[in-house]
Amino acid sequence: MSIEPFYLGGDLGMVERVLESGVRVKELSPSSVHAMLKEGRQLQAELCLLPLEERLEVVSMLGEVWEQRMMDGELDPVKKELGAATGYPAKLIDLEFSLVKKVLDAEEIRANLDGSLVGGAEALESYVELREGEGIRHLPAGPTFIISSGNSVIPTLIPTIISLVSGNFTLLKPSISNYRAMVEVFSGLQGLMSKSPAAHLMARSLSIGYMGHNSPTMDEALGKGDFGVVNFWGGEPARSEIGLRLSSNMHHPRLFVNGPLTGVAIIGGARADDSAARGLALNMILYEQQLCSSPTLAFYVGPYEEALRFAALARNHLEAIGSQYAVEPSDDALFVRNGAQKVLTFHGSRVMSSSSPKNPWTLAVSKADSNLEAVVESFPSFNLHGRRRFLEMIVLDSTDRIAPIIARLPSMTAFHGIDKVQTIGMALPDDMRDEVLWSLSPSGVYRFVPIEDMFMRSAVEPYDGMPLAALFTYAVYQRQAPTKGGVD
């Protein structure tokens, strides 16, 4: 396996390295990065002159190319590679690839821009009046450097597209896991370059390259690169290392980190029905609970016996859905899972589980508090990333204790490495839902959504509290007349 940069703007120098894994990588040379960024500044100025509609049309055409290639089977080898790298089942990779066209939909992107920018998407093209005599316009803050995680294609694709459409020259560094998939998404630009000046300009405004953590090119890019924005996806220790390297950069790019987060489900009352049980099961299966929105803990508000009845409903859906997304866990993973179940049972949890190694789900129902700390103490590898298709559901008699438990999750050994809870998936009656919404809003949670589709994002949603287009642009304000009441 070999990896080399994707860049349609011209020839660039490269440096060949062999990673510890044996993968042969051709990286951009440090001098090439500087040359590319210098040209990128000029390209951004040209991109700003393009009508937004033309930029969006290019992205939509890219989506059409992707869909056709998928239908023709051209992307099947890429699916296999991504599945092998992530451990995701083939059906999930199919779902992921089918969602790419939706991310590249012009109306979806426009909705994101409208929701992200003061003055809406129109402010990317011209000054939009905020009130009489005062207006605002948004210009690209880049060039941007996006350093993404590798557990999925969609979370990497969204910021890259928003950055590009916002008018930025964009350098993307995917992970090894999703590198080829990201290149394949944007390789369609090559065939579009001759179709319109907009496609030609946007194709030249994107570069994709892998750089190892100890790469001289990465050091040079972060320490000296003329970036306006760096968007990093991941946790420690890389997060701190990125910040340290950027601290000496004389261009002072803004840094925005999408850190490691997780999801929590809250169920109770009349909404604890079969639909909610299916939604919980689906989100446990999809992406093997590795998304920042995936439920890795649940609360049931109500009597213990009702919680057990709901768990039985979820069990049925875990069996049905999980069998469609077959996996091949290692013997070690299955051994640890079985040991964890015994520890949970010993500490009073009611444990339900699958007997199929290809669908190794576990659902534990605990009273009043979590028993996970005892499990991780006995089995350290059963950490947040090691727990797949596993959920502990804590039964509480009211919503009052949810906020304190959520507040201490980052300090728990069982949740080591997460910053906080990103997503709350709810299946609650309206009055109870309002209680949770108001009590948890100050806790730093970013999203409150129905339990059925915790993994789905609306086009108008911010990303971890930050509208993406606002991250990749800066606002220019203009006023035509002096303000009233000025100094004499």
User: What integer pLDDT is reported at residue 393 of this predicted model?
Assistant: 98
- Where b means 16+ CB within 10 Å and e means fewer, 460-469 reads ebbbbeebbb
User: What integer pLDDT is reported at residue 213 of this predicted model?
Assistant: 77
User: What integer pLDDT is reported at residue 488 of this predicted model?
Assistant: 61
**pTM (global) more than 0.85:** yes
> Residue 99 — left, alpha, or beta (φ > 0 → left; ψ -120 to 50 → alpha)?
alpha
User: What integer pLDDT is reported at residue 483 of this predicted model?
Assistant: 81
Around Cβ 68, how many Cβ atoms within 10 Å?
11
Q: Using the structure block, give the residue that is written with the tokens 């009611």.
A: 350
How confident is the model over 328-349, as pLDDT tens digits?
Answer: 889 999 999 999 999 999 999 9
CA 9 to chain centre: 28
CB 421 within 8 A of CB 409: yes
User: What integer pLDDT is reported at residue 10 of this predicted model?
Assistant: 84
The secondary structure of 392-452 as a DSSP string is EEEEESSSTTHHHHHHHGGGSGGGTT--EEEEEEEE--HHHHHHHHHHHGGGT--EEEEGG
Running along the chain, 488 residues long, what does each successive block of 10 average in pLDDT?
85 84 86 94 94 96 96 94 88 93 95 95 95 95 92 89 97 93 95 93 96 89 96 92 94 94 96 97 93 96 97 97 92 94 96 94 96 95 93 96 94 95 96 93 93 91 91 95 71
Using CA atoms, how far residue 339 sits from 332, 374, 382, 412, 488, in Å, is 11, 11, 10, 20, 79
> Residue 269 — left, alpha, or beta (φ > 0 → left; ψ -120 to 50 → alpha)?
left
User: What integer pLDDT is reported at residue 398 of this predicted model?
Assistant: 93
User: What integer pLDDT is reported at residue 190 of this predicted model?
Assistant: 94
Amino acid code (one letter) for 262 = T
| Integer Cα distance of 283 and 277 in angstroms | 10
User: What integer pLDDT is reported at residue 325 of this predicted model?
Assistant: 93
Using CA atoms, how far residue 377 sits from 365, 369, 420, in Å, is 19, 16, 21
| Integer Cα distance of 488 and 65 in angstroms | 63
Around Cβ 435, how many Cβ atoms within 10 Å?
17
| Integer Cα distance of 188 and 190 in angstroms | 5
